[in-house]
Structure 1
Amino acid sequence: MHPRRILLKSGLALAATVAAVLAAPGIGALAQGGAGKPVRLILPISAGSGVDAIARAAGPALGKAFGQPVVIENLPGAGGITGAAAVVKAQPDGSTLGLVSNNHVINPSVFRTMPFDAIKDITPISVLGSTPLVLVVNPKVPAKNVRELVALLKAKPDGYNYASSGNGTVIQLAAEMFLDEAGVSARHVPYKGTGPMMNDLIAGQVEMGVVALNAVAPHLKAGTLRAIGLCGDKRSAAAPDLPTIAEQGLPRYNVAGWFAVVGPAGMPPAEVKRVHDAFASAFTSPEVLEAMKKQGTVIDPGTPEAAASFFRSEATRYAALVKRANVKVE
């Protein structure tokens, strides 16, 4: 393994951000009783990300399944901690929910302190599915596959930059794991979300990065970004001609993005069932399944019990990956 050290910013800035969210008016003060009230679905990521695209596509079906308005709200910051903190602090009545991804269980391993327990302070409701990640480069980079990109990086150590949606995110870890597997280096440029990251990738301010396939597909089609390879262990039906990184010479490389719905700790079983059934119904509706198929997203809603077990196992798995990549908190 190529040794690496990643320095992550934390401390006063993170504490101040999270404290502001926890103290914000309205958080935790929503009307009692989830049924019949507007549902606030918090996405702890920026607009333009893969999970954002999934939520927006499923929004109308969610409103229909709940029989009430569903308000989707992006609340990015601190690698997803800011948005998750808002969910944790809310009333456990089903009126405030979160759509989280890998970052939720990664954060405890990369931040020195957390304002909440990522496992104990939530109610897991359902792991809804997964979406492929893809390594992309700006078209000015003269590499069309893994072999050519690795050759470039070896020829100019630290001569290239890679973007991420934030320090310690699965997007950064996926890129770092690629560099480790290939035995090469690149400078990390963190952004506050996928949207700003994509803007600079397209503009050529940074040369490469890992992005969810559904978020980057229009740019691949337009030629404003070039795909090097999928990060998972299988090709995607949405891009069948795009090979995986594993099949291009790095067989141990395998990272995929998943997404799940959670609520605050202490939700009553009846409310958990109501929310679970609404999300399962919406995400398996014909129109949402068709939209997800086009995005390359696999939908397979699980039970609350399965979600709880999955969160614990993923937290353990990513803790080992963080240690392997030598992630350190500054």
Structure 2
Amino acid sequence: MDRLQMLFNAVTVIFIAATMFAAGLGATVAALRSLFTSVPLPALALLANMVVVPLLGWGIGALFGLPTAAFVALVLVASSPGGPFGAKLAMVQKGDVVAGAAMQVLLAAVGSFTFAPTVNGILAAADIGKGVSLDVGVLVRTVALLQLVPFAVGLLLRRYAAPTARAWHPMAAAVSNVTFLIVLAGMLVGNWRDVVALLGSLTLLAGFVLAAVAFAVGTLLATGPPARRTTMGGVAAVRNAGPALAAIGIAFGDQPAVLGALAAVLLSGLAASVPIASVLSGRRSAAAAASDSTNSTR
């Protein structure tokens, strides 16, 4: 079991690095400059992910009357932005991958600092749970190593060795796709007992609703063309499991009930966001095919 867990962790690291590397290979400095000099977009993304989604987690947990362990897990997930699945959802939905990857890195970095205060504030206001204290330096280094560095390497290759970047991009995307499926299967197989134990409870529904509403909020609180706005929706819908898992280990003693609820919330969130991205992808493919057909008949 320990070897399987180590293998799963290794595949997860490869998935994150490959996804961010592929996003960097497809990015340009000009596109990133345009993204971050347009102040409303990052400002709205920060508002959606740092304020609105955590409040949604609190509200949904209270509305559904979740037990303490499930409420804590939902708040931990909602308060942790910048999940690496955000860039992958941008690829799945054929959205603005550059904007999705760049915003994901920004949110993960800022979230390293805001996660603990946000969780503490919500749990204190709800009179639930304990104080959360995390090593911000470790979180920031993790974000830099797994997300920022691969993205930056890909971006530099695209800028200074464009032919190489174009040649490597399909391979990096393929590795991202394959490891994405393995990670999804591993999450389901590794946590099926926790998920089954929560069948009939409102925990799974709460995670599903949080992701679906966060997708809508991220889309509404964004600027630019539809592909960019829905990409921001996907970034808001999937959260960063790393800080949440660290908090459970430090502040909640790896309580099985909280760990099980966290797995259920994360999986049900993906069950909501991946189909939305797939539907968007289908619509965009159909629109592109229709446009090509129209152009060919002219």
Fold match, TM over 0.5? Answer: no
TM band (smaller chain): under 0.3
TM-score normalised per structure 1: 0.24
TM-score normalised per structure 2: 0.26
| Higher share in helix | 2
